Structure 1
């Protein structure tokens, strides 16, 4: 009896192992890598400020810097004389930018980027004076101040010669801003949670909704379109945060990318993804070169004659045609077949663009041709 059960037990274990392999999708990715929840995103902040302490590389007499400096000294009860515009070679007007992460709370620190607004040659060694950073609603969300870290270097000589390394007119202040106000995301009060894919795809949206429903054992998720997946959730930040954390770690298999050929006409770069297939076609690639050389010569008249010196034209025309073999693409040719065939006929990136465009026009390549 035990001898009969042994093969049966082996078959059952094999079947269980096979079903387990089928349950794990190929090339699965976490949902958090496919998109973000609506409202949970960073916000851009911008401010206008003054950098001081420069070694004569500032804006000199730029009106923006002068007005900014007047505003700075007015905070301390100082007033510059009427009509006096100081030469601010040690100061520069700058724009300050930063990204406010989602759920950032007052007191947290942000990195800021400082860029010269006028003709300041370098911000190396400068210090940013306290600058308010505003959002799109013109409300202040952070305050920035600190010493700049500039990776560039600029040197100029008395004769006007200049040498620049990287960009000395921009720098960063690590942890240079302090959050003063939090941004309300509204995720805890919205009727439903919405997950937005980074790239629109109907199949991927359906698979994300199906993965969420299989994990929770109900029908709380539904695909609204090629980007958005609506998820029913009970109100309250604590419950929703727990559910969002679980959803982010669910693994799904995204849909294959559509067949696409990317061509950068400026650099000659051609990228073909693995989904591109070629239908039966024959390609011949040749190169015809026509060169015309002009070699005029001076003709002198015979001695004691009444002739005049003249210029006689002499032209030489040469035609050089490089013959290339015709390549036959069989039906269903893959990316490797395309690359191999194009290399065989010695096509350059520019010629490859022409070949791909011709295949597209002939109906032999069913793919999106994107020219940058």
Structure 2
């Protein structure tokens, strides 16, 4: 077994595909769980970008015509929509993320994306655009110069483009108008949500918290741990959460093998086990070649040259390599042994699938 493991390390450095082995490691609660209620909110709004250098929407973009008409009407300007020229204007969608705990007056970044046929929104200015959340309420207002980080240059068929000039950003381009209230531990309780729900991990997290703060935590389900804030931390909930996040815990994980058939990458956990098996790997190569011969007629026979084709079939059967591994072997030993006998990445993946189908592989096999 030691020889196989040593051979595995050497062979893996030589092959073009990668195999990774992962073991559980002690980590912080902060890295595997988050406090429920502490979340961001997505914002979206519709607006127009003005000041473009002839790279805006054409007159075929009806939403741009309608938007410009409505905007001018709000300023007391009445104009016939058919007479508008919108080449310096573009209709855009504005998106942003409202972080937790921001207050009125704080600024957030925005992304501006063209939704018409504008060639570029470089150098344009976004007109005041309300940004609303999924509940329809406005939480921020965006406005400002748009930076695309790209360009389109040229004329006719000879043009050059860098990045995507129809999408731009405005750092600190939106002002928060409404705060999302976060009642963090105000009722004396809070909950942690695991990034990967698991019964064992939830129990270990609750145990680690109870060892540090007393009997204050309970695993309600595989994905949530309910916690009662100790009385001496009621006035310092932030300090209590900071202490929770730094507690060490060893998360559990299911036995899983993930293979990427496109790149030949194999990633497996350390808990993967395999029953006693015998694997045979080999193949047959068939080569068909064609040779052309010219048959010349006899002298003075007034005949013509005849070309004949002779086909030669060559069949080569590689020696089948049989690998027998005991029940104590794991996937690392299987992959190492297959590498040693010259199996290709596709062969390794096919063999792993066959082992899983036989019931000898005690792990989830996921192909991406």
Q: TM-score range by the shorter chain?
A: 0.7 to 0.9
Equivalent residue number for residue 323 of structure 1: 319
CA contact (8 A) 1:298 1:311 kept: yes
Q: Mean Cα displacement is larger for which, 242-251 or 35-44?
A: 242-251
> Deviations along 1:140-198, whole A, 9 cap, x unmatched?
1011112222223333541x354333322212111111111011233345573111000
Matched, 1:167 2:164: yes
Q: In 2 relative to 1, CA 232–346 (structure 1 residues): closer, same or farther, beyond 3 Å? A: same
Equivalent residue number for residue 67 of structure 2: 68
CA contact (8 A) 1:324 1:345 kept: no
Equivalent residue number for residue 210 of structure 1: 207
> Deviations along 1:4-48, whole A, 9 cap, x unmatched?
xxxxxxxxxxxxxxxxxxxxxx94322121111111111111111
Q: Residues of 1 paired with 2:350 and 2:363: CA distance?
A: 15
Q: In 2 relative to 1, CA 157–335 (structure 1 residues): closer, same or farther, beyond 3 Å? A: farther
Q: Give the TM-score normalised by structure 2.
A: 0.82
Q: Residues of 2 paired with 1:357 and 1:300: CA distance?
A: 58
Q: In 2 relative to 1, CA 307–119 (structure 1 residues): closer, same or farther, beyond 3 Å? A: farther
Q: Residues of 2 paired with 1:105 and 1:289: CA distance?
A: 70
CA contact (8 A) 1:100 1:110 kept: yes
Matched, 1:290 2:289: no
Q: In 2 relative to 1, CA 147–299 (structure 1 residues): closer, same or farther, beyond 3 Å? A: farther
Q: In 2 relative to 1, CA 328–238 (structure 1 residues): closer, same or farther, beyond 3 Å? A: same
Equivalent residue number for residue 348 of structure 2: 352
Matched, 1:241 2:267: no
- The aligned runs of 1:1-372 (5 Å cut-off) are 27-61=25-59, 62-86=61-85, 88-158=86-156, 160-189=157-186, 192-217=189-214, 219-233=215-229, 238-255=235-252, 257-293=253-289, 314-372=310-368
Q: In 2 relative to 1, CA 302–350 (structure 1 residues): closer, same or farther, beyond 3 Å? A: same
Q: Residues of 2 paired with 1:130 and 1:303: CA distance?
A: 97
Q: In 2 relative to 1, CA 298–89 (structure 1 residues): closer, same or farther, beyond 3 Å? A: farther
Q: Mean Cα displacement is larger for which, 290-299 or 228-237?
A: 290-299
SS at match of 2:75: coil
Q: Residues of 1 paired with 2:221 and 2:210: CA distance?
A: 17
Gaps of 5+ in 2: 1-23
Q: In 2 relative to 1, CA 101–319 (structure 1 residues): closer, same or farther, beyond 3 Å? A: same
SS at match of 1:352: helix
Aligned length: 343
Report deviation, 1:294.
Answer: 5.7
Q: Residues of 1 paired with 2:343 and 2:70: CA distance?
A: 63
Report deviation, 1:115.
Answer: 1.6
Q: Residues of 2 paired with 1:36 and 1:232: CA distance?
A: 16
Q: Give the TM-score normalised by structure 1.
A: 0.81
Report deviation, 1:263.
Answer: 2.1
Q: In 2 relative to 1, CA 264–162 (structure 1 residues): closer, same or farther, beyond 3 Å? A: farther
Report deviation, 1:51.
Answer: 1.7
- Higher share of residues assigned strand: 2
Q: Residues of 1 paired with 2:71 and 2:312: CA distance?
A: 75
Q: In 2 relative to 1, CA 302–167 (structure 1 residues): closer, same or farther, beyond 3 Å? A: farther
Report deviation, 1:229.
Answer: 0.5
Q: CA RMSD in A?
A: 3.1
Q: Residues of 2 paired with 1:74 and 1:299: CA distance?
A: 92
Q: Residues of 2 paired with 1:245 and 1:369: CA distance?
A: 38
> Deviations along 1:63-109, whole A, 9 cap, x unmatched?
122222223333422222253342x2222221111111111111111
